[in-house]
Amino acid sequence: MAVCFPKDHPMTIREGLKRLLLGPEPQAVPVLGRNDRCWCGSGKKYKSCHLAGDERKRTAERKAAAPPRRGAAF
């Protein structure tokens, strides 16, 4: 299987292989205070706009990164 990029594509072979093996780079979730203005530009406070969704996303990322648990230890 050959990896082929258009000539104007900025990705090198090394970057392409890295992305293939490691997957896409994770999107950073902005860390804001609860009373700061939301990052989406709505003008609302973060706590009443995107806080709950961002916390769910962070929790899912932590669960995916954590090693699987194996039973209870006594």
Domain tally, the chain: 1
In a domain, 72, yes or no: no
**Parent domain of 58:** 31-66
- What is the C-alpha to C-alpha distance for residues 52 and 55, in angstroms, rounded to an integer? 5
pTM value?
Answer: 0.48
Q: How confident is the model at residue 36 (pLDDT cuts 50, 70, 90)?
A: very high
What mean pLDDT is reported for the chain? 78
In a domain, 57, yes or no: yes
DSSP of 46-65, one letter per residue?
Answer: GGGTTHHHHHHHHHHHHHHH
Backbone angles phi, psi at 45, to 5 degrees: -70, 150
Residue 56: predicted pLDDT: 92
Residue 8: predicted pLDDT: 62
pLDDT, tens only, 2-26: 555 555 667 788 888 888 888 767 6
